[in-house]
Amino acid sequence: MLLNKIDQFARDHGINKIELDYWIDNKIAEHFYQKSGFKEYRRFVYKDLD
């Protein structure tokens, strides 16, 4: 329901893209967002320096 409100708010304000992020190993979030119509278009990587 919250995502629907966010979608409507964005449309009402001329925003045409919603971005979000989640931890790559969070498969529950991945499936939820895919089911909600989100598509992957970018990946971020990092490297820890010791």
Of the chain, the end-to-end C-alpha distance in Å amounts to 43
* pLDDT computed for residue 7 by the predictor: 94
What is the per-residue pLDDT across 38-48, written as a single tens digit (0 to 9) for each? 999 888 888 99
* pLDDT computed for residue 50 by the predictor: 87
CA distance 18 to 48: 29
Q: What b/e readout covers 21-38, taking b as 16+ CB neighbours within 10 angstroms? A: eeeeeeeeeeeebeeeeb
- Looking up tokens 């529950």 gives 28
Structure tokens at 42: 């970018």
